[in-house]
Structure 1
Amino acid sequence: MVVQRITLFKVSSADYVPTITAEYDKIPSAVKDGKHYVLSCKASETYEDKSSEGFNFAARMSFATLEDMNFYQDKCSAHQALKTVVIPLVAGRMTVYWEE
C-alpha cells in the first residue's frame, strides 16, 4: 500500500506560486535514515473553479508507509524548511491523506 497525501493551499498572490513550487521541488531529495523516502512529489497551481473555495495550489505526495508520511509531517527538516517559506505566503491550507 502507498500513502497518498494532498495539501491544498489558498495562495494569496500569483507572484508566490514560483516560490512555493521551488520549495516543493526540493522535497524529493529529503532523507530519512540516510535514504530518500518520498516516493513522489508534484506541486502546481490549480485551475480556477467556483467549487475550489479559494484553494488555488495543490501538492500531491506519495510515501511507502504511514510511518514515512508521519516522519515527513513531524520530523523532516526539508518539510520544516518548506513550511518556513510557504506558510507566510498562504491564506489557508488543508491536508488529507489515505492509503491506496
Structure 2
Amino acid sequence: MKIELLNVRIFISKNTVVTDAIGNRRNEWKPFYTCYATVSGEAGKEQTDAGMVVDDSSIDFTIRWCKKAAEIDSTHFRVEFNGELYNIAAVDHMNYRRKSIKLSCEKVRR
C-alpha cells in the first residue's frame, strides 16, 4: 500500500445504546476511530422519489489495517467525510492480509 495515496481524513462513529437516569434507551453516535484514507469509486446519481430529488451517492474508502479498524462492521458504524455522513454498506478485508480494509459506503439520506 502506498502511503502517499492516504490523503483524506475520515471519522468513523459507532452506534451505541445509551440509558438515561430514568431508564429510557436511545441510540447515539460516538466517535470511534479517525484515520487517513484513499477515496475511490465515487459514483453519484440523483433520483426523483415522491416529488423530491434524492442524492444516492456511493463511495469507497480504503484505510490501513489495525486492530481497531478490524472491528468495523456494516451494522454499527458510519463514516464522516467532508461534512457528509455515509453508511457502511460492506466491509472488505482485502483477502485478510492485514494490510488494508475497504469500506463501501452510501450517502445518508437526511
> Is the pair's TM-score, using the shorter chain for normalization, greater than 0.5?
no
Q: Which has the higher strand share?
A: 2
- RCO greater where, 1 or 2, for CA within 8 Å and sep 6 or more? 1
TM-score in terms of structure 2 length: 0.28
TM-score, normalised by the number of residues in structure 1: 0.30
Structure with the higher helix share, 1 or 2:
1
Select the structure of larger CA radius of gyration.
2
